[in-house]
Structure 1
Amino acid sequence: MRLTFHLLIILSVDLHHFRLQLSEASVQHLKFAHLGDYKDKIRTSRIIKNGSTRSMVHCAQLCSEIEACVSFFHNKNTRHCSLHDVIFFSPDDGTDSPGMKYYVYDEGDCSFREGFIYSRISKACFSIRSNDGLNNWASSKSFCKLRNFRLATVDSKEKYDYTVATIKQSSRFKGYANYYIGLNDHAKEGKFVWVDGTPAQWTKWEKGRPLKDVKRNCVILAGSRTYNGVFSFVDKRGLDAAFRWICEKVLP
């Protein structure tokens, strides 16, 4: 039987390309780029699978076959390969491991090199604004809009889990903090919609929320210690309260 083969493109440190033939079942064109900051480092959290592989390309192939996998560590000397379901941004969080290199799924228009996180499962492209100071909801919305983004639409368990896991796994982001997202009831009290007008269906409200308060029109992912760091949805007075925020890039 004749098989149709597809290419998996791996970008290494010098951006030379490696070609890998995949079976007909793998119909995706996937890209992994080397994150040089993590040289000789490894993370032992959020592991999907690990073990020994023939090569870095083989390790990348294993990652490509698991939709939740968005990054992997590989050591060409020991052939160690570990697959992960989040992108790590802070090498300071890693442990020493000579010869180890880190590769991240790089979705072109949603590149981790520009600070985005991309989920292969939900296809969400988020930018976690953890180090830009604090803004009220309107200013957070304007910040995103000026860059052709929007406040994040965290409208599924997959998007929620991936975003929260990424925040918690990297010291680059403020773990115990609150982040504005695009959910609001500005137009009609009690009718929460996302910034594009889509009615809220999946939500993660803190127990007892939302409150019946006409001034509480904006929603945060509540990760501060006040809310026990659980990142539930909490309605706030967005004109007054200043927090961090999350932008979303709408992909074609």
Structure 2
Amino acid sequence: MTRTITAVLALVLLTVLDIHASVLQHGKAVHSTVYDNLIFETHLLVILQNVPSALNCICMCGQFNECLSLFYDKPNKLCRLHNVMVFSNADGVTSPGWTFYRYGESGCPFHLGFISNQEGLCVYLAVSSIYTYEEGQHLCEARNSRIITLETAEKRQAFQNLMNKLLENDDLYPLINGKQFYLGLKHDGSGWHWKSDESIQEEFIWGSGQPYCPSAPCACMTAFQIWNWKWNDISCSESHKVVCEYTGHLLK
């Protein structure tokens, strides 16, 4: 539920030293012009009043575990915190003076189209088209990234949480719903190896009826949305969606 906070600044805002400590602890926000001069009522966590600067607004976002983006209105000293980074354009209402920031770890290159979540993923969504595994690999490498790898239960859960959150976006829903996404996991004839560190995957999160590949060698793997992101072994020549994981900032 949206809450409007009108408490005294001394009780709500941080001191200058605390602000810088918060930025170091929680990461930082990067300005993106994509939603400037707009406001959104969807996915709104809180509205803060009497916030003296964008830096204060950024630091307040760091105090909310679910905060992923923020809007700041400097003339009116207003700060709006949201729990998504990507909005449906149809939900935006023109409101001059608002500046949009994506909040996340400092190593995630938002200016290149990457997004992040509070669980540490930093990814680029290649969802407007489909790619073979090799094409997806080249696309990611061109962005200093790789096809996402899910070596641990923590990363698998973070990926699932991110994708399910993106499904709530009206613009992204048809691009994600019912689709398969390549994983950076390949079979080399002796076993399934993650492309991040060549570690062998021994525990498989198989979808219904898998593994099953009657028509061609299946050396690649996808995560399938209709199976709640469980896995499907496929031919690497099939074309599917891709999520690139930024290699400069990886969840361990």
Does the TM-score normalized on the shorter chain lie above 0.5?
Answer: yes
Letter in 2 for 1:116: F
Residue 81 of structure 1 is aligned with which of 79, 82, 86?
79
5 Å-filtered alignment, 1:108-119, equals 108-119=106-117
Match of 2:211 in 1: 210
What displacement does 1:71 show?
0.9
Q: Distance in 1 between the 2:85 and 2:170 partners?
A: 9
Q: Distance in 1 between the 2:75 and 2:232 partners?
A: 51
| SS of match in other structure, 1:128 | strand
5 Å-filtered alignment, 1:1-252, equals 20-22=16-18, 26=22, 27-28=24-25, 30-47=27-44, 49-55=45-51, 56-76=54-74, 80-88=78-86, 92-99=89-96, 100-105=98-103, 107-122=105-120, 124-131=121-128, 133-154=129-150, 155-166=155-166, 168-169=168-169, 171=171, 174-176=175-177, 177-188=179-190, 192-196=192-196, 197-200=198-201, 205-211=206-212, 215-223=217-225, 227=226, 231-251=228-248
What displacement does 1:202 show?
7.7
Letter in 2 for 1:138: E
| SS of match in other structure, 1:216 | coil
Q: What is the aligned-residue RMSD (CA, Å)?
A: 3.4
Is there any run of 5+ residues in structure 2 with no aligned partner, and where?
1-14
Letter in 1 for 2:134: A
What displacement does 1:79 show?
5.1
Is there any run of 5+ residues in structure 1 with no aligned partner, and where?
1-18
Higher relative contact order (CA 8 A, sep 6+): 2
Q: Distance in 1 between the 2:168 and 2:217 partners?
A: 30
Structure with the larger helix share? 2
Letter in 2 for 1:218: C
Query: Identity over aligned residues, as a percent?
Result: 19
- Normalising by structure 1, what TM-score? 0.70
Q: Distance in 2 between the 1:237 and 1:84 partners?
A: 37
Contact kept? 1:50, 1:80, Cα under 8 Å: no
- Normalising by structure 2, what TM-score? 0.70
Distance 1:96 1:203, change over 3 A: farther
What displacement does 1:250 show?
1.3
| SS of match in other structure, 1:142 | helix
Letter in 2 for 1:134: I
| SS of match in other structure, 2:230 | strand
Contact kept? 1:205, 1:232, Cα under 8 Å: no
Distance 1:143 1:61, change over 3 A: closer
Number of corresponding residues: 223
| SS of match in other structure, 1:162 | helix
Contact kept? 2:68, 2:103, Cα under 8 Å: yes
